Amino acid sequence: MLKKYDDHYLKLKLIFERTIELIDTYHPDEIAIEAPFFGKNVQSMLKLGRAQGVAMAAGLSREVPITEYAPKKIKMAITGNGNASKEQVAKMLQSMLGLKTIPKNLDSMDGLAAAVCHFYNEGRIEVGKSYSGWGAFVKQNEDRVKK
Residue 127 — pLDDT band, cuts 50, 70, 90?
A: very low
User: Domain spans of the chain?
Assistant: 2-130
Stated pTM of the model? 0.76
Active site residue 107: yes
User: Among residues 105, 137, 104, which one has the least CA distance to residue 33?
Assistant: 137
Q: Which of 6, 107, 126, 142 is catalytic?
A: 107
- What value does the mean pLDDT take over residues 96-107? 91
Is there a binding annotation on residue 68?
no
Task: Look at residue 60 and tell me whether its pLDDT is greater than 50.
Answer: yes
Task: Look at residue 125 and tell me whether its pLDDT is greater than 50.
Answer: no
- What value does the mean pLDDT take over residues 125-146? 64
Is there a binding annotation on residue 34?
yes
Active site residue 30: no
> What local confidence, expressed as pLDDT, does residue 46 receive?
86
Cβ neighbors of 43 (< 8 A, separation 6 or more) are none
Task: Look at residue 124 and tell me whether its pLDDT is greater than 60.
Answer: no
The domain covering 2-130 belongs, at the CATH homologous superfamily level, to Ribonuclease H-like superfamily/Ribonuclease H (3.30.420.10)
Residue-averaged pLDDT of the chain: 86
The helix (H) or strand (E) run that includes residue 130 is: strand 129-131
